[in-house]
Structure 1
Amino acid sequence: MYVKLCNFGKYADGKSEPKKLQPDSDGSVDIYRKVRVYRIISLVLFVLCILLLIVVLVLLINLSGTQPCQVLEETNRSPPEQECSLNKCQEVYQQPLGETQHLCGDCGKGWSRFESTCYFLSQNRLSWQKSREECQRKGGNLAVITNQRVQMYLSRKGNLHYWIGLNRVGTNEWTWINNTALTVRYWEDDSSRGDCGILAANEPPEQSWRPSQCNLYLQYICQKI
């Protein structure tokens, strides 16, 4: 008699399959957590780098900006803030006094000081007579150029055509509006038609004056003491 024995062991019927390895779920979770932490740390470091870069840029802008003697023509400041020593400006900018006086002055908003005079270069355009009236309303008059230093300064500061206080209305001779003698001349050509003088700041300073019709609308330069 043949009897088949039931074997429930691991070698039953000789067909036992090897036990599959289960993944280590705890290890996978731990690795995921580490990756997540690393990502958060990387993001924090990136944000810190951006903030540090912004701080460095702000410091560079502040260090490369104007020195203690700020150009007062850009802002309306109260009298105590306007009390800036010209000697201090000269010491800071290391330039001749005539070149630094416009850096510290109390001329007012939009004006700049050169030597002992304040100058205003307009952005709006008027006729010669209206320009003079506007300068008078501001407490000055159209600019009178009596030396090469002023001529060079105004030529460098502007880049347009400006009315100046030069005319020959009612006479054939060019005269300044304050009756100052015309001791220096920077004409390109004074034989052209027109009885009012302009300074062409975009031309060489040695030859930048031109006659023009007085009713033309141009920018203008005012001056006051």
Structure 2
Amino acid sequence: MEMQEIQVEPEDKKAEEDEGARGPKPEDKKAEDEEATGPKPEDKTEEEAEPDHYTKLSNPTENIYSETYYFQPDKTTPSKQPGGNVRLYRAGCLFLSLLCFVLLLTIIILSMKLQTGSTSCSEQTLDAGGRNPPTCSLDQCRVDFPDVLPRHLGCQQCSNGWLTLGRSCFFLSTFRLTWDQSQKNCSSRGGHLAVISSRTVQTFLTKKGDLKYWIGLKNAGTSWSWIDDEALQQSYWSEAPLDGDCGILSSSDPAEKNWIRASCQASSYFICQLQF
């Protein structure tokens, strides 16, 4: 019988071989898994642990400013608008102030002129001795001052109830008197019975009246004349003038032929005339 050599291996080596046959230990396997999968989430760095919205700060600064520029509100427009309103308000106030000043100056000048004119008129009505000049009737003033009277009364208007034609006022009565009484009534009004000196006056009085009126025409014996002693030049006698020494204008007839004769003692309406 042959002798077989039996080699006895050390126990330590044997133990290692046994462990190699059983595979790696759990601790070693766990370490290998951690190395393969990488670090755990809790092993992240401090910078990586920050929230995601902080990662935008890593973009270049010029990109941030470019984005904020588009969303930045326009501050220039609100600042200009109040300034424009203030300037417009000041311009309006200045214009109104100048307008008020001009109106005030105009009123002052007109008041001064009015006072000056009133003073001059008052001074002219006094004579050299400081007394009022003597007065006269309208007829006497017309004789004494034929040129002065129309010039001073040129802007005078007729009183209420009087009709205006040229430089004369006419009053058509609504009551009847004799011819002499009618003349006195007209004199008390500052005038006289109407004198028809033109076709214009004849047509005017015919249209304005609708009755029979005494006029300032009277038979002086041999001829007809007006109340102011003017001779009759143009006449408008009707075809049947009747009899009498005083003239009447019948406004119901045509203006070309509407004068009639009547007794001066008869009562009729009358027309007064006031010249200025």
Normalised by the length of structure 1, the TM-score is 0.52
Which residue in 2 is equivalent to 1:207?
257
- Please give the residue correspondences for 1:53-132 in structure 2 after superposition, counting only pairs within 5 Å: 106-132=157-183
One-letter amino acid of the structure 2 residue matched with residue 120 of structure 1: F
Find the aligned partners of 1:191 and 1:114 in 2 and give their Cα distance. 27
Find the aligned partners of 1:172 and 1:163 in 2 and give their Cα distance. 20
Which residue in 2 is equivalent to 1:216?
266
Could you say if the C-alpha distance between residues 143 and 172 of structure 1 is closer, same or farther in structure 2, counting changes exceeding 3 Å? Answer: same
Q: Is the 8 A contact 1:161 1:198 kept in 2?
A: yes
One-letter amino acid of the structure 1 residue matched with residue 204 of structure 2: Y
Find the aligned partners of 1:182 and 1:168 in 2 and give their Cα distance. 10
Percent of aligned pairs with the same amino acid? 41
Which residue in 2 is equivalent to 1:182?
232
Find the aligned partners of 1:172 and 1:194 in 2 and give their Cα distance. 13
One-letter amino acid of the structure 2 residue matched with residue 220 of structure 1: F
Give a deviation string over 1:30-68, Cα, whole Å, max 9, x none.
xxxxxxxxxxxxxxxxxxxxxxxxxxxxxxxxxxxxxxx
Q: CA deviation at 1:172?
A: 2.7
Structure 1 unpaired stretches of 5+: 1-103
Consecutive aligned runs of 4 or more in structure 1 exceeding 2 Å deviation: 189-192
The counterpart of 1:159, out of the listed 198, 210, 225, is 210
One-letter amino acid of the structure 2 residue matched with residue 145 of structure 1: I
- Tell which structure's C-alpha radius of gyration is larger: 2
RMSD between aligned alpha carbons? 1.6
Give a deviation string over 1:106-137, Cα, whole Å, max 9, x none.
21121111011000000010000000000000
One-letter amino acid of the structure 2 residue matched with residue 109 of structure 1: N
Q: Is the 8 A contact 2:215 2:270 kept in 1?
A: yes
Aligned length: 121
Q: Is the 8 A contact 1:189 1:209 kept in 2?
A: no
Find the aligned partners of 2:241 and 2:198 in 1 and give their Cα distance. 22
Could you say if the C-alpha distance between residues 191 and 161 of structure 1 is closer, same or farther in structure 2, counting changes exceeding 3 Å? Answer: closer
